[in-house]
Amino acid sequence: MHVDVLFTWVARSCFVLLAILTLHALWRYRDRARLDIALLFNVFAILFVIQVLAELFDIRSTLLSAIGLMALVSQPHLTLRLVEHFRTVPQWVKRVSLFGLLLIWLLLLTLAITAPIFVILVIVVYFVFVDGYVTQAFLQNARATLGVTRQRLLLAAWGSGLVGLVIFLLGLGVVVPVLAPLTGSLSGIGAAIIAICYYLAFAPPRWLRRIWQMSEMYGFLAVSAQYLSEQRTDDFLDTLCKSATRTGDAQATVVCLWDADTERFVVRATDNATLVGAAFAGDSSEVQRAWNDHQAVVVAADSGTRTELNDLAARVRSQTYYMLPIITPRRVWGLLIVFLQHGSLFPHDDLTHLSLLAGQGAITLEHESLIADQQQLVNQLQHEVLERTQAETHILQLNNALEHRAVELQNANQELEAFSYSVSHDLRAPLRAVDGFSRILLEDYVAELPESAVRYLNLVRTNTQQMGQLIDDLLTFSRLSRQPLSTRPVALRDIVNKVWADLEDEQADRQIALEVEELPVCEADPALLQQVFVNLLGNALKFTSKRDQTHIVVGCQQDGDERVFFVRDNGVGFDMRYAHKLFGVFQRLHRAEDYDGTGVGLATVQRIIHRHGGRIWAESELDKGTTFYFTLEGDGANG
């Protein structure tokens, strides 16, 4: 096969493949850009199909030849239509293109295929002018963009430029016949290169797009890596906006974050000063699709619908804008919006590249949020460490104060021991002497003493004995704070029975019924617990002394997880308004003339119960009796 034939078939195959691929893209996306692209390459396909049919079936039809040439010369005008998708084409250029196309069609239909040289020259000039303008437009837009779109526009520029060059060579071969073999061969090679350029520009394979994307993203990440390492999020977002603007040769780009307080999107970063601090509501359907459905959206700002976002687009003279969600698996952060002056010839590639930028922006925002959370935790930890250090310092001060207090307490205890010894020996000795001499006077000289003197001596003895008992009670009360606890399992019934037996003298000539209910074993100091029952049972006997029938109950009842012990009597009772005085030292709720006592017994009971970690209280009603309740720490239902 001759080389020229090979190049011809390569060109034809590529253009037919392009026609099929662009038709598929038109069916898939159904937009005007795909329609114009499909129209361009299907015109080429029609031209080559006509040529193939003519060669295979040896058809020499003037009409078919004219249709083929008309399809060929429509290429510049159809390519110019593609330029209108991303920039404004001057009206005079569009008019020259359309007028030139109609003129050439008219000449071809009039002169058929025997076109004179001046018609060939008109066609050459037409191709060179229009394709030259198209090539220049593709190149300018390619220099202003990034990513896959940039590479595709460059290839489209090469293809359009080569079309003009090939037509020029063919025209040169017609004008200078001697050069026809050379220009024909070069034109065949050029046609094959054109087909390849157009194929890579308008239907590039996916792997090639990925290479272009990764190359561009690598450059972007290399520039922004420094900002990320230095946690300069705002600088990174500014770089992202500039990169996004160049991706689509846009007017401006904004990164908008959702503000839950105002329920509006607020511009966090932008590369256009007129959009700094702008905000808009998220009530439009396009915003909802991007925000709620996580879809990339292309919006026509000049659609006639008045929204706050369209007003922002008008500020930067944008007719179309892209809107992409800035999203991570953790949350949706906001929107990346790119405002284009016109539109894009390859919006899908733009959106793909912008999606990568939006994803990187989302990662950066999440990184910033995590760093902020981490810093908050660090600050909280530092605050807690400071508080703990201060607490430890305070505890150390308290320990020092406690040690000092312990020394003081030890000294006080020693002084108290000395005082107790003094009370026990120095104070009680004179009392014994007074009581003893009073007793001697009453025994040996009672006959010589008047009746009043005997009564006075009996009063002296009674009061000295009461004072001795008071001293004993006070000593017992004071020792309770220093006496160590010796807890062990205690059978309460045995203690109650022993105490009741010791109080036998107070039961003489009385009708008393003691009822001891089921009492559990508990953990306590048996000696101190015995003192509790000595006081409680003693009080019960004392305050029921005026009853004909005395009834005393000792028992235990369950209150939730707590066992409550009680001693109940049917004595005189007391007014509950004065219950707060019941356990005070020297506090008495009855007259001393009616009931003897020192006023220390219940205070002693309370101190013993508190030393066991329990609590004690009383319930009473005048002339109906009293019940004392108490608990012991660690004595639960299962204790």
- Write out pLDDT tens, residues 575-628: 788 777 777 665 555 555 555 655 667 777 888 888 888 888 988 888 888 899
pLDDT, tens digit, for every residue of 238-261?
888 988 888 877 889 999 999 888
Specify whether 268 is located in the same domain as 161.
no
Specify whether 152 is located in the same domain as 258.
no
- pLDDT tier at 638, thresholds 50, 70, 90: very low
At 340 the three-state DSSP class reads: strand
- Give the rounded percent of residues in the chain with a pLDDT score beyond 70: 86
In a domain, 595, yes or no: yes
In a domain, 291, yes or no: yes
pLDDT over 50 at 637, yes or no: no
What contacts 24+ positions apart, CB below 8 Å, involve 136-143?
A: 137/83, 137/87, 137/89, 138/83, 140/87, 141/86, 141/87, 141/249
Specify whether 505 is located in the same domain as 612.
yes
Specify whether 51 is located in the same domain as 10.
yes
Specify whether 238 is located in the same domain as 131.
no
Residue whose entry in the numeric block shows the structure tokens 């593609």 = 82
In a domain, 422, yes or no: no
At 321 the three-state DSSP class reads: strand
* Residue 478 to residue 472: CA distance in whole angstroms: 10
Q: How many domains does the chain have?
A: 3
- Residue 64 lies in domain: 3-204
Q: Given 321, 342, 372, which residue is the final one in a domain?
A: 372
What is the pLDDT at residue 99?
Answer: 94
Specify whether 200 is located in the same domain as 258.
no
Residue whose entry in the numeric block shows the structure tokens 């087909």 = 195
State the CATH number of the domain containing residue 292: 3.30.450.40
In a domain, 386, yes or no: no
In a domain, 439, yes or no: no
User: How far is CA 455 from each of CA 176, 221, 438, rounded to the nearest angstrom?
Assistant: 168, 114, 11
CB 461 within 8 A of CB 439: yes
pLDDT over 70 at 28, yes or no: yes
Which range has the worst mean pLDDT, 116-125, 251-260, 629-638?
Answer: 629-638
Q: Given 354, 372, 390, which residue is the final one in a domain?
A: 372
Provide Rg for the chain, Cα atoms: 55
Between 6 and 523, the more confident residue is 523
In a domain, 15, yes or no: yes
Specify whether 169 is located in the same domain as 244.
no
pLDDT over 90 at 187, yes or no: no
* Residue 570 to residue 598: CA distance in whole angstroms: 22
pLDDT over 90 at 209, yes or no: no
- pTM, two decimals, is 0.56
Range ranked top by mean pLDDT from 5-19, 168-182, 215-229: 168-182
Which range has the worst mean pLDDT, 68-77, 478-487, 558-567?
Answer: 478-487
Specify whether 200 is located in the same domain as 235.
no
In a domain, 569, yes or no: yes
Specify whether 102 is located in the same domain as 188.
yes
In a domain, 225, yes or no: no
SS3 of 61-127: the string is: CHHHHHHHHHHHHCHHHHHHHHHCCCCCCCHHHHHHHHHHHHHHHHHHHHHCCCCCHHHHHHHHHHH
Please give the angle made by the CA atoms of 517, 519 and 521, to the nearest 5 degrees.
170
* Residue 346 to residue 33: CA distance in whole angstroms: 8
Specify whether 359 is located in the same domain as 254.
yes
Alpha-helix runs per DSSP H in 422-525: 428-444, 451-479, 492-502
Q: Given 322, 346, 372, which residue is the final one in a domain?
A: 372
Across the range 46-68, mean pLDDT stands at: 69
Count of alpha carbons within 13 Å of 28, Cβ hemisphere only? 8
Across the range 525-547, mean pLDDT stands at: 83
Q: How many residues does the chain have?
A: 639
State the CATH number of the domain containing residue 623: 3.30.565.10
Specify whether 122 is located in the same domain as 239.
no
pLDDT over 50 at 56, yes or no: yes
- Between strands 511-516 and 549-559, the pairing is parallel
Specify whether 154 is located in the same domain as 263.
no
What is the pLDDT at residue 233?
Answer: 81
pLDDT over 60 at 123, yes or no: yes
